[in-house]
Structure 1
Amino acid sequence: MAGLLAGYGIAIPVGAVGAHLVAVAARSPWRTGAGAALGIAAADGVYAVLAVLGGAALVPLLAPVATPLRWVSAAVLVILAAHSTRAAVRAYRAGPQSTEAPPPAPRRAFLTFLGITILNPMTIVYFTALVLGGQTTTGATEATVFVTAAFVASASWQLLLATGGTLLGHLVTGPRGRLTTALASGVLIVALAVGLVV
Structure 2
Amino acid sequence: MRPSAEALAHAVVTAALVAGLLAGYGIAVPVGAVATHLVSLTARTSLRTGVSAALGVATADGLYALAAVLGGSALATALLPVLEPLRWASALVLAVLAVRGVLSALRDYRDRRPVGRAAETPQGVGRAYLGLLGITLLNPTTVVYFTALVLGGSAGTSVTPLEQGVFVLAALAASASWQLLLAGGGALLGRVLTGRRGRLVTSLVSGAVILALALRMALGSS
TM-score bucket (shorter structure): over 0.9
Q: In structure 1, which of residues 123, 126, 140 is the aligned counterpart of residue 142 of structure 2?
A: 123
Matched, 1:43 2:60: yes
Shift of 1:42: 0.1
Provide structure 1 residue ranges, at least 5 long, that are not aligned to the other structure: none
User: TM-score normalized by structure 2?
Assistant: 0.85
* 1:55 CA drift (Å): 1.9
Specify which of 158, 169, 186 is matched with residue 165 of structure 1.
Answer: 186
Do structure 1's residue 107 and structure 2's residue 126 form an aligned pair? Answer: yes
Report the Cα distance in structure 2 between the residues aligned to 1:35 and 1:98, rounded to whole angstroms.
Answer: 22
Read off the aligned partner of 1:90 and give its amino acid letter.
R
SS in 2 for 1:80: helix
1: distance between equivalents of 2:197 and 2:119?
A: 19
- Is 1:134 matched with 2:134? no
Q: Structure 1 residues 138 and 18, CA, compared in 2 at 3 Å: closer, same or farther?
A: same
Secondary structure, counterpart of 2:72 in structure 1: helix
Q: Distance in 2 between matches of 1:5 and 1:137?
A: 20
Given the alignment of the two structures, is residue 190 of structure 1 paired with residue 207 of structure 2, yes or no?
no
Please state how far the C-alpha of 1:197 moved relative to its aligned partner.
Answer: 1.6
Matched, 1:14 2:35: no
Counterpart amino acid of residue 119 in structure 1: L
Q: Per-residue CA shift, 1:147-170, capped at 9, x if unaligned? A: 000000000000000000010000
CA distance in 2, matches of 1:148, 1:39: 15
Contact 2:46-2:117 at 8 Å conserved across structures: no
Residue 96 of structure 1, CA deviation = 4.1
Deviations 1:2-50 (CA, angstroms, capped at 9, x unpaired) = 0000000000001000000000010111010000000000000000000
Instruction: Name the amino acid aligned to 1:44.
Output: D
Deviation at 1:126, TM superposition (A): 0.3
What is residue 12 of structure 2 aligned with on the other side? none
Letter in 2 for 1:108: R
Q: Distance in 2 between matches of 1:2 and 1:100?
A: 39
Contiguous gaps of at least 5 residues in structure 2: 1-17
Matched residue, 2:21 = 4
> Hey, what does 2:10 align to over in structure 1?
none
For residue 87 of structure 1, report the CA deviation from its aligned partner: 0.6
Q: Give yes or no for contact 1:21–1:161 (8 Å, CA) kept in 2.
A: yes
Match of 1:89 in 2: 106
Shift of 1:106: 1.7
Kindly state the Cα deviation for residue 99 of structure 1 after the two structures are TM-superposed: 7.8
Over aligned residue pairs, what C-alpha RMSD do you find? 1.7
Letter in 1 for 2:182: L
Q: State the 1:97 CA deviation.
A: 4.8
Aligned-residue identity in percent: 58
